[in-house]
Structure 1
Amino acid sequence: MTVQLFAALYPWTKALHLIAVFAWMAGMFYLPRLYVYHTPAPVGSDRSEMLKVMERRLLRAIMNPAMILAWLLGITLVLTPGVIDWSAGWWHGKMLGFLLMTGLHGHLAAARKGFERDERRHSEKYWRVVNEGPTILLVLIVVMVIVRPF
């Protein structure tokens, strides 16, 4: 019964997983960009305080729930019989990308707490470079899932 239920819900699970990933990625692209703008903002300025609100809301209301859903739905997809050929190597690459994306998410979340305390631990240039990370990881993940090079 459980196998049939997983199989019957597979298209919906996959669609919801992709929606969650898209929402998560939107935040992953935007939050480091907010940090680029926040870094030079004078402590206590209206701009700095506005960015704190934007960063907190983006992380808590969009990114965290989307990441959690992406993980839960992804695990559900993996548990669906016949979806993954465990002898293939592509899923290792996808999981590496997903784990790195989760680690980057954690780094961004920790940085948000620093900005909340008016700490500027990194330069604008640093955040501009970090802003490229989600794109590189997204390319890795999509290529692994669609092309399945190994």
Structure 2
Amino acid sequence: MTAYDLARGLHILAVIAWMAGMLFLPRLYAYDAEQNAKPEPLRSEMQGLLRVWQTRLLRIIVNPAMILAWGFGLWLIHIDVTARGWSFLAEPWMITKLAGVVLLSGWHGFLAGQRRKIAAGTSKYSGRFWRMTNEIPFLLAIVMVLSVTTEWRFG
């Protein structure tokens, strides 16, 4: 096993955990938003439980997985730079992958900020919004995975 193989395997595992959390968190937000139509005390009880799950998912799985995915990804870049130089970072497939990572990280930040707003009762988003945006991480993953596995180039 080479360092590259180890880094790649750990990167893939971290990305799987990150994606799982990023796909589930908006679903929890949708369930939370839909509780507003329910009568008390059921609403408060369920929202309290959902908010505990949201916080735990973000803090125990999503945030650490993102940090690990970034760390192992940077390790892979370091290994590639050492072996082939910096030029591969200018390839269209790598630019696409890195743009996807930045977008996914931005979506992660948005979701983390929304958890605080949901906990404070100030979120303006409906269950429908969360259901419609739930697939954003998967769509980004499709673009990133295909760009890396095919190493497509212009022209």
2: CA distance between counterparts of 1:100 and 1:109? 14
1: CA distance between counterparts of 2:48 and 2:2? 48
Q: Structure 1 residue 38 and structure 2 residue 32: aligned?
A: yes
Q: Which runs of 5+ in 1 are unaligned?
A: 1-6
2: CA distance between counterparts of 1:28 and 1:10? 26
Question: Of the candidates 14, 17, 27, which is equivalent to residue 20 of structure 1?
Answer: 14
**Which amino acid in 2 is paired with 1:132?**
E
Q: Normalised by the size of structure 1, how large is the TM-score? A: 0.90
3-state DSSP of counterpart to 2:123: coil
Q: Is the 8 A contact 2:89 2:95 kept in 1?
A: no
2: CA distance between counterparts of 1:52 and 1:59? 11
Number of the residue aligned with 2:151: 148
1: CA distance between counterparts of 2:135 and 2:45? 28
Q: Is the 8 A contact 2:93 2:148 kept in 1?
A: yes
Q: Normalised by the size of structure 2, how large is the TM-score? A: 0.87
Paired residues, number: 144
1: CA distance between counterparts of 2:145 and 2:78? 20
Q: Is the 8 A contact 2:30 2:127 kept in 1?
A: yes
**How far does residue 87 in structure 1 lie from its aligned partner after superposition?**
4.5
Q: Structure 1 residue 82 and structure 2 residue 76: aligned?
A: no
**How far does residue 18 in structure 1 lie from its aligned partner after superposition?**
0.6
Question: Of the candidates 99, 113, 117, which is equivalent to residue 114 of structure 1?
Answer: 117
Deviations 1:48-107 (A, max 9, x none): 000000000000000000000000110010010236724421000000001000000000
Displaced runs of 4+ in structure 1, greater than 3 A?
none
Q: What percent of counterpart residues are identical?
A: 38
Q: Structure 1 residue 95 and structure 2 residue 95: aligned?
A: no
3-state DSSP of counterpart to 1:122: coil
**Which amino acid in 2 is paired with 1:76?**
W
**How far does residue 135 in structure 1 lie from its aligned partner after superposition?**
1.1
Number of the residue aligned with 2:58: 59
Deviates more, 1:128-137 or 1:99-108: 128-137
Q: Structure 1 residue 72 and structure 2 residue 75: aligned?
A: no
Q: Which runs of 5+ in 2 are unaligned?
A: none
